[in-house]
Amino acid sequence: MKRRVKYIIDLKFVDQLPKQEREELKEVTEKFAFRTNDYYNSLINWDDPDDPIRKIVIPTREELEVWGKLDASNESKYTKVHGLEHKYPDTALLLVTDVCGIYCRFCFRKRLFMNDNDEVARDVSEGLEYIRNHREINNVLLTGGDPLILATNKLEKILTALAEIPHVRIVRIGSKMTAVNPFRISEDKALLDLFEWFNTKTGKRLYLMNHFNHPRELTKEAKEAVELVHGTGTVQTNQTPILKGINDDAEVIKELIEELSFMGVPPYYLFQCRPTAGNKAYSTKIEETIDIVERARARVSGLAARVRYVMSHETGKIEVLGKTENLIFFRYHRAADPENCGKFMVFRRNPEAHWFDDYTDLVEEYRVETEEEFV
Ligand code: SF4
C-alpha cells in the first residue's frame, strides 16, 4: 500500500480547530488561499496555540492587517515571457505550477494562489524557447508553487526539454515537498529514476532546494525522502525565511541548520521575510534577526555556518553582514544591475527596519556619507 496524504482545502475540515475559530478565520481564507494535508496536520501540537508548525499553515486574523505589497520584490518587472523570470544573467525561473503541498501563511508568492492571477504557465514552451535563445542562462530554477506537485510525467517533459539545451548546466527544483508530503518522493520510484537519469545521463546536475522552516519538520519520513533523493545524485540545500513565532529563535535556527548539515543538506539561505501583503504577523526586525542568526551560527560547525542571511530585494540578493552600535552593513550577493555586483553598503541603524527600503527610504537620515563616520 502506498503511503499518501489527504489534502484539505477548507478550514471546515480541520476538526482539530474549534468551530468558532474556523468561522472567525473564514474571512482570512477568502482573501488568502488555504491548503494543508493530514500528514502536515499530524506534526502540529493542537493543544498549543503558539505551536510553530500550526503557525506555518493555519491562518491568523492578523493577516488581514494592511501591510506590504502582493509582489514585494517586483517579480513582474523581470517577467520576460509568460511564466519565466530573468533577473540575473545566468539564472532563469520557470513558474511551472500555482499549487503547493500546503500554503505557507507567509508565502511571498501568495498572489499566485489568487483566482485572477495568470503568472504561471501550464505550457512552458514559450519559457523554454526564451531559455534556448539566451545562451547566458546556465541554470534554471523550477518554481511556482511547488514543482513536485506536478505529475512525474509532466516534470519529465520539462527536464527532458531542459536537458536538450546545451548551455543549461544546472536545473534547480525549489520545493517544500520533503517537509509537507515526503511520500510524494519516497513512494514514487519513477520520480527518483527521473532525478537519477538527469544526473547521470545528461551531463547536467539537478539540485533540490528544500524548504524546511523548523526542526520539527525533520521527521523520520522527511529524512527518508531526503536520503532517497541523495541516492539519485541530486545535490540538496535548504532555504527558509526567519519567521516571527515560528523560528525567530537562535536555539531553533541552530538546531535546524545543524541537523540539516548532518543530513547532508547544507543550509543555503536564511531569508528576511519579504514585506508581502498579509505577512506582518510573520516579519521580524532586521537588527534583532542579525543577533538570532549570529548566535545560531556561533554554535554550529563551519558547514552549517555557511548559511547566508539575505533579503531577496527587487534590486538583488542583499546579504545582511552585521552591525555595530550605530551602523549596519550590507553587500549585494547577487545584483540585477551588474554595477551593483559585490557592492558594500553602510547605513545608520534603524531598529524598526523590516526591509532594505526602511534604510534607503530614509536615505538622508541613515546613509553614512564619510569614512570618518566609521570611527
Ligand atoms: S511551499 Fe513555497 S511557494 Fe508554496 S506556499 Fe510555501 S512558501 Fe509559498
What is the 70 CA–ligand 1 centroid distance (Å)? 14
Please give the sequence-ordered ranges of beta strands (E in DSSP) within 144-242, or none if there are none. 170-174, 205-210, 235-242
Query: Which has the closest alpha carbon to 347: 315, 311, 320?
Result: 320
Report pLDDT digits (tens) over 290-300: 999 999 999 99
Find residue 320's DSSP bridge partners: 330
Give the model's pLDDT for residue 254.
Answer: 98
Give the model's pLDDT for residue 375.
Answer: 45
What is the 300 CA–ligand 1 centroid distance (Å)? 27
CB of 56 within 6 A of ligand 1: the answer is no
Give the model's pLDDT for residue 370.
Answer: 62
Distance between the two ends of the chain, CA-based, in angstroms? 67
CB of 179 within 6 A of ligand 1: the answer is no
CB of 171 within 6 A of ligand 1: the answer is no
Strand duo 36-37 + 79-81: pairing: unpaired
Report pLDDT digits (tens) over 293-331: 999 999 999 999 999 999 999 999 999 999 999 999 999
| All three cell numbers of 190 | 519513477
For atom 5 of ligand 1, the residue with the nearest CA is: 103
For atom 7 of ligand 1, the residue with the nearest CA is: 107
Query: Which has the closest alpha carbon to 94: 141, 139, 131?
Result: 141
Ligand 1: which of 109, 209, 214 to mutate, most ligand atoms within 8 Å of CB?
109
CB of 35 within 6 A of ligand 1: the answer is no
Question: Residue 313: what are its φ and ψ, rounded to 5°?
Answer: -90, 160
Report pLDDT digits (tens) over 208-256: 999 999 999 999 999 999 999 999 999 999 999 999 999 999 999 999 9
Give the model's pLDDT for residue 117.
Answer: 86
Distance CA 136, CA 75 (A): 20
Give the model's pLDDT for residue 2.
Answer: 86
Ligand 1 atom closest to residue 106's alpha carbon, by position in its atom list? 7
Give the model's pLDDT for residue 368.
Answer: 61
CATH fold for domain 7-374: TIM Barrel (3.20.20)
Distance CA 133, CA 88 (A): 15
| All three cell numbers of 189 | 520510484
Positions of the chain with pLDDT lower than 70, given as ranges: 361-375
Angle at 264 between CA 302 and CA 258, to 5 degrees: 45
CB of 109 within 6 A of ligand 1: the answer is yes
CB of 142 within 6 A of ligand 1: the answer is no
Distance CA 71, CA 110 (A): 9
| All three cell numbers of 60 | 491568523
Domain spans of the chain?
Answer: 7-374
Ligand 1 atom closest to residue 110's alpha carbon, by position in its atom list? 8
